[in-house]
């Protein structure tokens, strides 16, 4: 009697190989001496547009002005304020001290090195998990995608660029169970920008899944807390807490300008999707048949996406945070797809990178040209020792004109909430940072600016909608010129 054949079982879905043991030192040396020059060359090529403009966005201008104030003996969170931790302003101040403050070339070089370090750390992570080819793939894919946003967001030497390297370092250390160093790297990411602390989620996951000991938990906690407390103590603990954590309630609110910020979010998401056209398809394809990488990589991507959503502003540079985990997930997916998919991913990423490079080189910069014209007028009408108030969202005007701000608030946004990208409903004196207007009025009384520049140009923070400033201009200043839509007021005769 013939036997009925048993049904064949489907093979289990493929999975990326497990992490490998450390390779001999000679093998590691040979690998990195070949890969590093290629990554250096690619990092230099992708950052070429960064060196073609004196400034890329107001954040660079803000940091440059902060650095000058700190160099003149000012104190962070007292002489000059911002809703950011101090690491990047200190980095700017150090670069200016060593190489001068006439240009941003020095910090642009540091930004290039930060991107290169991020790529190297990702390559090391991928190589340890999936082999030599994966290491090369991760480093190259990251650098190709790292400029995939509006050049004002991707090429500027701002908070997110300097945050990514310690973020990747935190994962690199946690992958090797170096919990104290991982905590310190998370702290550095947070001290570059608050949302950098999101990497703590996958780091804790790795700790939890490594059968954690009490000493491991303690080392992670100490590595995280001690640097943050030390920085708070070096600055002003109350000011540090207020400006980095508790003082941004109105800025982080979603109420007002919902359509405005949602449109910005959709546009920047679409731009990043184009930049990651070589990364996303492998991940999506493998999701249907296998696990792509490890859970900690998905947690890293998810926590980074949550950080992008935090505050509901969706500025383009926020999206830089999702690129490192996405590059690793794509690398993991490519390990279990046919080899031709790797060539396709690299070719697609290279084409998209070329597109964004061309955008960075050729795109006009009308706002920079405007700031330069206003700065020239300010420099012409004031003496080097005069204080100036620029009422607008272009703090780079102070730096370009080489004039000292009359207020610690370098933009009108801190006094009206416009810096959050609001287009009207929640803009005005009552939405300012708590306690800002009494301080500002005292500054205008004790160190009155020789020149006030109304650079609002019809925006909802114009002086006629801000009574305190409107009264000051009417009582003590007179119009002396108009430059490219910006109105110049000089202190008038009694």
Cβ-based neighbours of 450, under 8 Å, separated by 6 or more:
382, 383, 386, 387, 388, 490, 491
Provide mean pLDDT across the span 120-136: 95
pLDDT in the model for residue 401: 95
pLDDT in the model for residue 488: 97
pLDDT in the model for residue 257: 64
pLDDT bracket for residue 11 (50, 70, 90): very low
133 has pLDDT over 90:
yes
pLDDT bracket for residue 197 (50, 70, 90): very high
Provide mean pLDDT across the span 457-462: 90
For 193, phi then psi, to 5°, come to -160, 140
1 has pLDDT over 50:
no
108 has pLDDT over 70:
yes
Provide mean pLDDT across the span 143-169: 96
134-143, 234-243, 250-259, 370-379 — which is least confidently predicted? 250-259
For 93, phi then psi, to 5°, come to -60, -40
Tens digits of residue pLDDT in 392-427: 999 999 999 999 999 999 999 999 988 655 566 678
10 has pLDDT over 50:
no
pLDDT in the model for residue 256: 57
pLDDT bracket for residue 22 (50, 70, 90): low
What length is written for the chain? Answer: 494
18 has pLDDT over 70:
no
CB 60 within 8 A of CB 152: no
448 has pLDDT over 90:
yes
Per domain, the residue ranges of the chain are 25-362, 366-491
pLDDT bracket for residue 207 (50, 70, 90): very high
Helix runs in 402-451, H state only: 413-416, 436-446
pLDDT in the model for residue 265: 87
Q: Distance between CA 323 and CA 386 in Å, rounded?
A: 44
pLDDT in the model for residue 50: 95
Cβ-based neighbours of 54, under 8 Å, separated by 6 or more:
103, 104, 368, 400
pLDDT in the model for residue 494: 45
Provide mean pLDDT across the span 331-355: 94
351 has pLDDT over 90:
yes
| Beta bridge mates, 482 | 487
263 has pLDDT over 90:
no
Cβ-based neighbours of 399, under 8 Å, separated by 6 or more:
55, 61, 64, 65, 68
Provide mean pLDDT across the span 176-180: 95
pTM here? 0.90
54-58, 109-113, 207-211, 373-377 — which is least confidently predicted? 207-211
């Amino acid at each position: 009697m013939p036997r009925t054949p048993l049904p064949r079982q489907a093979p289990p879905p493929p999975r990326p190989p497990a992490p490998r043991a450390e390779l001999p030192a000679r093998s590691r040396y040979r690998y990195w001496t070949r890969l590093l020059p290629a990554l250096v060359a690619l990092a230099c090529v992708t950052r070429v547009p960064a060196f073609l403009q004196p400034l890329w966005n107001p954040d660079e201008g803000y940091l440059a002005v902060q650095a000058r104030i700190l160099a003149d003996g000012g104190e962070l969170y007292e002489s000059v304020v911002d809703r950011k931790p101090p690491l990047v302003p200190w980095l700017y101040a150090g670069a200016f001290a060593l190489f001068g403050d006439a240009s941003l070339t020095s910090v642009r070089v540091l930004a290039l090195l930060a991107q290169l370090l991020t790529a190297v750390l990702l390559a090391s992570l991928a190589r340890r998990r999936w082999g030599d080819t994966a290491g090369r793939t991760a480093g190259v894919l990251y650098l190709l995608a790292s400029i995939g946003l509006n050049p004002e967001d991707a090429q500027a030497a701002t908070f997110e660029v300097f945050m990514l390297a310690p973020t990747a370092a935190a994962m690199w250390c946690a992958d090797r169970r170096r919990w104290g160093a991982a905590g310190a790297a998370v702290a550095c990411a947070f001290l570059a920008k608050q949302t950098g602390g999101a990497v703590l989620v996958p780091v804790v996951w790795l700790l939890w899944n490594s059968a954690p000991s009490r000493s491991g938990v303690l080392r992670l906690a100490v590595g995280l807390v001690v640097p943050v407390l030390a920085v708070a103590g070096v600055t002003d603990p109350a000011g540090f807490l207020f400006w980095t954590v508790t003082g941004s309630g109105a800025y982080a609110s979603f109420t007002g300008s919902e359509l405005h910020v949602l449109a910005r979010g959709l546009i920047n998401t679409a731009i990043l999707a184009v930049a990651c056209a070589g990364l996303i398809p492998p991940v999506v394809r493998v999701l249907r048949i296998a696990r792509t990488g490890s859970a900690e990589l998905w947690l890293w991507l998810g926590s980074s996406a949550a950080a992008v959503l935090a505050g509901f502003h969706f500025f383009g540079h926020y999206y830089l945070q999702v690129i490192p985990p996405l590059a690793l997930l794509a690398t993991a997916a490519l390990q279990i797809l046919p080899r031709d998919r790797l060539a396709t991913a690299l070719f697609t990423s290279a084409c998209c990178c070329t597109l964004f490079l061309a955008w960075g080189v050729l795109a006009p910069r009308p706002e920079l040209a405007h700031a330069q014209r206003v700065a020239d007028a300010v420099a012409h009408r004031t003496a080097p020792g005069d204080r100036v108030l620029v009422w607008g969202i272009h703090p780079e005007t102070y730096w370009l004109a080489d004039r000292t701000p009359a207020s610690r608030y370098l933009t009108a946004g801190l006094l009206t909430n416009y810096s959050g990208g609001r287009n009207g409903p929640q803009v005005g004196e009552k939405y300012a940072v708590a306690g800002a207007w009494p301080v500002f009025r005292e500054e205008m009384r004790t160190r009155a600016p020789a020149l006030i520049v109304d650079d609002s140009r019809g925006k909802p923070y114009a002086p006629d909608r801000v009574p305190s400033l409107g009264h000051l201009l009417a009582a003590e200043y007179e119009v002396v010129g108009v430059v490219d839509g910006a109105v110049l007021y000089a202190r008038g005769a009694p």
